[in-house]
Structure 1
Amino acid sequence: MSYRALLHETRPSLLLFGFLARLPYAMSSLTTLMLLQSATGSYGFAGAAAGAQSLATGAGGLVVGRLTERAGLRRIGALTAVANAAALTALVAATHIGRPAMAGAAIATGLAQAQVGALIRAHWSQLARSRPGLLTTALSYEAAVDETSFIAGPAIVGLLAAVTTPLPALAGAAVLLLAGLPLARRYADPEPGPDRRTTLPPLPVTPLATLVVAMALLGAIFGVLQVAVTAYAGDPGSAGLLYAGLGAGSALAGLACGWLPARFGAVARYRTFAAGLLAGMALIAFGETMLPVAIVLAGATIAPYMISVYTLAERASAGRVAVALTIVGAGGPVGTATGQAAAGLLIDSHGPHAAFLLTPALAAAALLVAHSPRSS
């Protein structure tokens, strides 16, 4: 299915609100990092707090997935939008109180994170039941939109922080979360019947666990890069633009995945793109002197890997798409938490280059997971 045909399968407003509503996800972690580092002067504390926020995002995602099965995409999508906006507001207020309040508010923001990416992928999966060929194109589109948000989000954060402080970026994220309210109304989400909870099939544990690990390793790469790029750049504006370059390369590659031939199967794609991820991270680690170029080229390896993981998760969902995608998606923030904390400590003691060297090691682990027997 072409992207033009995809536009005819849903309301254009869903695509617009879907983009706007996920911008806060792309903004919150980097903004939290910059905000808390500015407030405390410590990359170690800021990285640990941002990592705790990411870990909480993973835990919150599991709860959101389960609640979605009981209450539906529409209700939970609206609830998380409001809750996340309130938590971001509390995070801004916490900067005037102290480190414990900042850490607590960062965790609350993660727990309340609106899981727009997973919920909208579940929406597409629902539509695809009666529209052959829709899902592959839709997942490629969503990966590109994810990465586009990671272009716009860090760029907005960096530019605002360069002009003023990270506070306006957090306030803007809270406002953008309101786009989740009209988005939730557009989800393809028949209300679950009263007997739904007694007829749910069991989830396949082993395939999903493998995919959670795969996504966690990608999340760890994101976490390391967020902190390392911020420290390497030296100022918020440059950091946001560098990280946006990563998203630009990834978004273009994600769109290109929509034209891959069907004979290039899901497992083969996953393993091929895992190898590409390793090559991309090696570019960043050993091409630091040309980081603006290396980071764009490396970005082109990210979305294809992420698309292949989500495709396998949908296939392994046993009909429980929303919860399967949120479970696998939860691996990302858990990995990000680990990456952010590790990178913050490394940078405080050895500088950003030591953190950059972590990324090919993480990508090598992702390649090993992709070739494990349980990955197929």
Structure 2
Amino acid sequence: MAYRSLLRVPGAGFFPLGFLARLPYATSTLATLILVRAASGGYAFAGLAAAVQGVATAVGGPVVGALSDRHGHRCVGAATAVANVVALTGLIAASRADRASVLVAAALVGLTQPPVGPLVRVHWSRLLHARDRHALMPTALSYEATADEASFVVGPAIVGLLTPLGPAAPTMGTIALLALATLPFALSFDRRGAVRQPAPKTSRTPLPRRPLAAMFLAMVAMGAVFGAVQTGVTAYADGSGRPGSAGLLYAVFGVGSAVAGAACAWLPSRFAPRHRYVTFAATLVLGGLTLVVGDRLHAVPAAVAIAGIAVAPYMISLYALTERLAPPDRATVTMTIVCGGGPLGTAAGQALAGFLADGHGSGGAFLVAPMAATAALLLALALLSADRGRGVWLVGDRTEAAT
């Protein structure tokens, strides 16, 4: 019933177009890896180019978010979609040039990456609050998390289908998705629920620095889990003599997460977001331990499926808390800052898991997952303790004064 009510708010066409619009985020980095690998002949430089693109995405996201808060989602979303098309076209051309040109082009691709996920989450918040449909916000966040996870199943599959057509084909497919889905989706944003912006000489609401930093670190920990799982399943697939199965194994991880995310819409409202955050941080630890045990029992596919169930509920909790702490006139930049922790954590998780995988195989790589999840849980417990003891984190429906 909750999803049926949500469907009526923006109209049914919003959902399929919104799903297609986020696919470039799921295809772009892998497409870059394949393109640069074919051009350079080595994985090391291709991995470096993909890492540069990922870091640039994390850096560019808050800038795009700040511009969106000032100039609107339609204008900035459309501009970044067009700019990303140009940047990806430049990357294809640069792949035939020197390595410095490739890295610059990869950085430009990351800097212009349209942050569809943060934009649409803020759009939901403004739209539902404007229509006095606040109770549907958890359902909207559950849907968005499910769509995100599904995109990371469909996106790599699209890359896999296009790769036999040539190393540039996945990048060209990403360009097509940007032009045919991301750009039209950005243009579909209207002024319903928009927040009145302050006059140019009026000071803007300060960001809540401490809780925002906490949410950022929580997302870094989640990204490290992603990096550990990606590296772990790759090492496992190579060690089992089926390297091509790595993508399928990671897709299983996404499927479990998507199903759990969809189910979060039916959690009782009395289960407060901050309590969900701590609870699902604990389940994230259990999911990481499941990976380690599954590797030792030679049951990695089952372990990956079970571990994935903990992911989306944890991320939905982070998004819900971020939505509450965000100042209305700076909601998008707040959301993009938090989301920027994901790719940074993924890069760190991949680096550490790769180092451990060289000496200890997939089991070593998977160890990073419970380590990162434990850090996430300790952070959640510290925040909950501070909130109970001094009321310095989240109180009621909104946050305390910014610090």
TM (normalized to structure 2)? Answer: 0.86
Q: Verify: 1:315 aligned to 2:324, yes or no.
A: yes
Between structure 1 and structure 2, the one with the greater Rg is: 2
**1:211-235 CA distance string (max 9 Å, x none):** 0000011112223333443444347
RMSD value over aligned CA atoms?
A: 2.3
Q: Verify: 1:245 aligned to 2:255, yes or no.
A: no
Q: Tell me the amino acid that sits aligned with residue 321 of structure 1.
A: A
The correspondence of residues 112-127 of structure 1 with structure 2, limited to 5 A, is 112-127=112-127
Count of residue correspondences: 375
Contact map agreement 1:271 1:367 (CA 8 A) in 2: yes
Q: Specify which of 362, 372, 375 is matched with residue 362 of structure 1.
A: 372
- Which residue of 2 is the match for residue 219 of structure 1? 223
Give the distance between the partners of 2:68 and 2:308, measured in 1 at CA: 32
Q: Verify: 1:324 aligned to 2:334, yes or no.
A: yes
Q: In terms of mean alpha carbon deviation, does 342-351 or 363-372 score higher?
A: 342-351
Q: Specify which of 288, 291, 304 is matched with residue 295 of structure 1.
A: 304
Q: In terms of mean alpha carbon deviation, does 111-120 or 96-105 score higher?
A: 96-105
Give the distance between the partners of 1:205 and 1:309, measured in 2 at CA: 15
Contact map agreement 1:214 1:369 (CA 8 A) in 2: yes
TM (normalized to structure 1)? Answer: 0.92
Contact map agreement 1:150 1:247 (CA 8 A) in 2: yes
- Which residue of 2 is the match for residue 140 of structure 1? 142
Give the Å deviation of 1:256.
0.2
Give the distance between the partners of 1:285 and 1:32, measured in 2 at CA: 30
Q: In terms of mean alpha carbon deviation, does 346-355 or 93-102 score higher?
A: 346-355
Change (3 A) 1:2 1:366: same
Give the distance between the partners of 2:83 and 2:63, measured in 1 at CA: 14
Q: In terms of mean alpha carbon deviation, does 290-299 or 64-73 score higher?
A: 290-299
Change (3 A) 1:47 1:341: farther
Change (3 A) 1:180 1:253: same
Change (3 A) 1:109 1:334: same
Give the distance between the partners of 1:90 and 1:349, measured in 2 at CA: 38
- Which residue of 1 is the match for residue 168 of structure 2? 167
Give the distance between the partners of 2:301 and 2:12, measured in 1 at CA: 34
Give the distance between the partners of 1:352 and 1:38, measured in 2 at CA: 26
Contact map agreement 2:220 2:343 (CA 8 A) in 1: yes
Q: Verify: 1:106 aligned to 2:110, yes or no.
A: no
Give the Å deviation of 1:345.
4.7
Contact map agreement 1:143 1:306 (CA 8 A) in 2: yes
Contact map agreement 1:126 1:188 (CA 8 A) in 2: no
Q: Verify: 1:201 aligned to 2:201, yes or no.
A: no
**Unaligned ranges ≥5, structure 2:** 387-392, 395-403
**1:124-158 CA distance string (max 9 Å, x none):** 01012121312111000000000110110122223
Change (3 A) 1:204 1:332: same
Q: In terms of mean alpha carbon deviation, does 322-331 or 333-342 score higher?
A: 333-342
Give the Å deviation of 1:255.
0.3
Change (3 A) 1:218 1:354: same
- Which residue of 1 is the match for residue 264 of structure 2? 257
User: Which of structures 1 and 2 has the larger relative contact order (alpha carbons within 8 angstroms, sep 6+)?
Assistant: 1
The correspondence of residues 92-103 of structure 1 with structure 2, limited to 5 A, is 92-103=92-103
- Which residue of 1 is the match for residue 400 of structure 2? none
Give the distance between the partners of 2:108 and 2:207, measured in 1 at CA: 28
**1:253-273 CA distance string (max 9 Å, x none):** 000000000011101100111
- Which residue of 2 is the match for residue 229 of structure 1? 233
Using the aligned pairs only, state the percent identity.
51
Q: Specify which of 262, 265, 278 is matched with residue 285 of structure 2.
A: 278
Contact map agreement 1:159 1:236 (CA 8 A) in 2: no
Q: Verify: 1:22 aligned to 2:22, yes or no.
A: yes
- Which residue of 1 is the match for residue 55 of structure 2? 55
Q: Tell me the amino acid that sits aligned with residue 265 of structure 1.
A: A
SS of corresponding position for 2:13: helix
Contact map agreement 2:126 2:195 (CA 8 A) in 1: no
Q: Tell me the amino acid that sits aligned with residue 48 of structure 1.
A: L
